[in-house]
């Protein structure tokens, strides 16, 4: 190796500085995961070279036996992790090792609490890959060369993790990457052969690329004594180096499945569940899918990395093959290995391959079946729902064919428990429906408290009819695509005419009609007083405690969705609400007896209060306050 040239010192991206500072100075409870991360990165580099070499085997440079090698030097206090994979160019080194090229980093940093132990645990869960080396090292040196490039194109990267790094050009004979960790004083335990071997078997036994460590063998004389100077070093493969998904299910332990998940997902925690399946026949493939126990930080970024690892006959093709699962199942991780896709296919052509659609349909069904099975464990499924529920709610709009199946997996807060916890299924709701009830009722609001306290629920509470309480931003959009469940139509209690069906008897319905006739004069006066502010005024039987409420026409966009779209800059046509009055309320009785200006003021106050109760914004709050003050001081 020649002397380094063209050396420059650069600063880390701000987010990396924060991350490194936390890593280096935090108390870290599971430091050993650094080796798993570095081995996983090396395995990925080998996979990428194997794929690139399908079109150009000259990239192997005469060394096609892909491997990862780990060495240690106890005296120098170093651990070296080396691979002969794809390697990096100078620009790639600066990009990959100077920034975190992973969306969601900002959200990750926002969740850091400032408490060292809690933050250190978060870092381990984040799966920060290369940067985990700084957990045990006070200096890291990387030497690399891109496969197929000139030997003079080698690059050396150095950093002590203190905010900057240096990059220099070097001569490097071998392609691939070598990472040298200069261990901290309290991390010298890792410069030990037995420790390293045990960590490889613990975390990376399933890696398909051989992970090798040096083994020193000494010749012995006839008496069994070692002959001095006869030491010979050989490389010994420590891991099983077989594709875990290709092994029979009966031979794989839960610990092995969980370890493989951590490799695939770069996650620190165990998955909630998994499904390992081999399909034979017209379509042949093997899948190993996992449901994580926690969300990645880019879950809600629609352009973020997602999808399964794709292999064709155990040849790695791509990391995030998003074509094999719908977007609403983007949290599922795993591997798909198939014989039915051509190897020279590009990412664009792969999307149009009819075999992909067939595999996607089968994997979607398997993913939903996996969740249905998980739902039998209420506690585990609640953990899943709290983490990924809002993503699964995208399903009915995206996947019409599986809409009923997805609906069965949804969970809601309802008036049955009056708890904000979304833990009630639609099957639970249907099983509790009142005699004569033919519809599933729901209400959408900006918050759980607003939904729970809505005046629209008053008649339902009086009649003992359960209502779904929806407050997630996606809920109104969800319900616009979820028309029925088990033959029961969904009805928004804040839209259109209220029809409780056979829950109300004929006497009640007749009494409502008589009341409406008796209050026709009042309704006409209120309509004239409010003018263009309302579409219509009518008396209602949906209220028991409130004097009035506003209702939207049945097929109009709800208040919550309108506010979300307006906040996003959408211009929407004006929709005038319907004002419904409770004829039994004292304030409505007082309104009926009022005359002149007092009548107009009280009519406007009731209308404004109904809008406020709905979580809406008044067009003229000052006028409302003035009218209310006049009423209170009269």
Enumerate the known binding-site residues for ATP: 37, 41, 83, 88, 96, 103-104, 125-130, 177, 347
d(C-alpha 314, C-alpha 283), whole Å: 16
Side by side, which strands form the sheet with 68-73? 5-11, 164-170, 154-159, 137-145, 176-183, 78-83, 68-73, 211-217, 232-237
Distances (CA, A) of 146 to 61, 131, 150: 11, 21, 8
Tell me the C-alpha distance between 136 and 158, whole Å. Answer: 15
Are 407 and 396 in contact, with CB atoms under 8 Å apart?
A: yes
Q: How many angstroms separate the Cα of 579 from the Cα of each of 64, 574, 620, 621?
A: 77, 16, 18, 18
CA–CA distance, 194 with 124 (Å, rounded to integer): 24
User: Of 609, 490, 480, which Cα lies nearest the Cα of 556?
Assistant: 480
Which residues are annotated as part of the binding site?
Answer: 37, 41, 83, 88, 96, 103-104, 125-130, 177, 347
> Please, what is the end-to-end C-alpha distance for the chain in angstroms?
95
Number of residues in the chain: 634
Residues 6+ apart with CB under 8 A from 540: 498, 549, 580, 581, 582
User: Quick check: 269 and 121 in contact, CB under 8 A?
Assistant: no
Classify burial at 252, counting beta carbons within 10 Å of its beta carbon; exposed 0-12, middle 13-18, buried 19 or more.
middle
Q: Which of 553, 440, 428 is nearest to 490 (CA)?
A: 440
The three-state (H, E, C) secondary structure of 212-256, written as one string: EEEEEECCECCCCCECCCCCEEEEEECCCCCCHHHCCHHHCCHHH
In sequence order, what are the beta bridge partners of 215?
234
């Amino acid at each position: 190796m020649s002397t380094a040239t063209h050396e420059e010192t650069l600063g880390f991206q701000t987010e990396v500085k924060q991350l490194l500072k936390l890593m280096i100075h935090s108390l870290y409870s599971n430091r050993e995961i650094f080796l798993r991360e570095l081995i996983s990165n090396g395995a990925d580099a080998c996979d990428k070279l194997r794929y690139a070499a399908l079109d150009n085997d000259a990239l192997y440079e005469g060394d096609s036996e892909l491997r990862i090698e780990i060495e240690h030097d106890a005296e120098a206090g170093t651990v070296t992790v080396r691979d002969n994979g794809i390697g990096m160019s100078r620009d790639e080194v600066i990009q990959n090792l100077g920034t975190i090229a992973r969306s969601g980093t900002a959200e990750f940093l926002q969740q850091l609490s400032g408490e060292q132990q809690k933050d250190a645990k978060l870092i381990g869960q984040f799966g920060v890959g290369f940067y985990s080396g700084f957990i045990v090292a006070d200096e890291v040196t990387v030497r690399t060369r891109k496969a197929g490039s000139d030997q003079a194109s080698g690059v050396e990267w150095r950093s002590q993790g203190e905010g900057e790094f240096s990059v220099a050009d070097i001569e490097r004979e071998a392609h691939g990457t070598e990472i040298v960790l200069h261990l901290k004083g309290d991390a010298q335990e890792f410069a030990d052969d037995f420790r390293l071997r045990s960590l490889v078997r613990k975390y990376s036994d399933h890696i398909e690329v051989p992970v090798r460590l040096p083994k020193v063998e000494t010749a012995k004389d006839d008496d069994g004594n070692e002959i001095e100077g006869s030491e010979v070093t050989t490389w010994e493969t420590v891991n099983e180096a077989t594709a875990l998904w290709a092994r029979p299910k009966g031979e794989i332990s839960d610990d092995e499945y969980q370890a493989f998940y951590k490799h695939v997902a770069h996650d620190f925690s165990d998955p909630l569940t998994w499904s390992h399946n081999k399909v034979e026949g017209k379509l042949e493939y093997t899948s190993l899918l996992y449901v994580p126990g926690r969300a990645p930080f880019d879950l809600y970024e629609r352009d973020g990395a997602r999808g399964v690892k794709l292999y064709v006959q155990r040849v790695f093709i791509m990391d995030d093959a998003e074509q094999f699962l719908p977007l609403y199942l983007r949290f599922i991780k795993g591997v798909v290995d198939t014989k039915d896709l051509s190897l020279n296919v590009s990412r664009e052509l792969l999307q149009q391959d009819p075999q992909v659609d067939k595999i996607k349909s089968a994997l979607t069904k398997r993913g939903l079946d996996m969740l249905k099975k998980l739902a039998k464990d209420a506690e585990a499924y609640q953990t899943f729902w709290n983490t990924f529920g809002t993503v699964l709610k995208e399903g009915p709009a995206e996947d019409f064919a599986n809409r009923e199946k997805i609906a069965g997996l949804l969970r809601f807060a309802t008036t049955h428990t009056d708890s904000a916890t979304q833990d009630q299924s639609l099957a639970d709701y249907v099983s509790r429906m009142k005699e004569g009830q033919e519809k599933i009722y729901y209400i959408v609001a900006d918050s759980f408290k607003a939904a729970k306290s809505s005046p629209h629920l008053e008649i339902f509470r009086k009649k003992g009819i359960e209502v779904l309480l929806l407050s997630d931003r996606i809920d109104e959009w969800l319900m616009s695509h979820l028309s029925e469940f088990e033959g029961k139509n969904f009805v928004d209690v804040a839209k259109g005419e209220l029809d409780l069906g056979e829950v109300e008897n004929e006497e009640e319905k007749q009494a409502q009609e008589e009341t409406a006739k008796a209050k026709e004069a009042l309704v006409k006066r209120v309509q004239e007083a409010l003018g263009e502010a309302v579409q219509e005024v009518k008396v209602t039987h949906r209220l028991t405690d409130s004097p009035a409420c506003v209702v939207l026409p049945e097929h109009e966009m709800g208040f919550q969705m309108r506010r979300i779209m307006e906040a996003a800059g959408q211009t929407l046509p004006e929709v005038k609400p319907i004002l419904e009055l409770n004829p039994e309320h004292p304030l409505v009785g007082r309104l009926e007896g009022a005359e002149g200006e007092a009548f107009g003021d009280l009519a406007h106050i009731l209308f404004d209060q109904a809008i406020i109760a709905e979580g809406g914004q008044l067009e003229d709050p000052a006028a409302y306050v003035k009218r209310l003050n006049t009423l209170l001081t009269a």
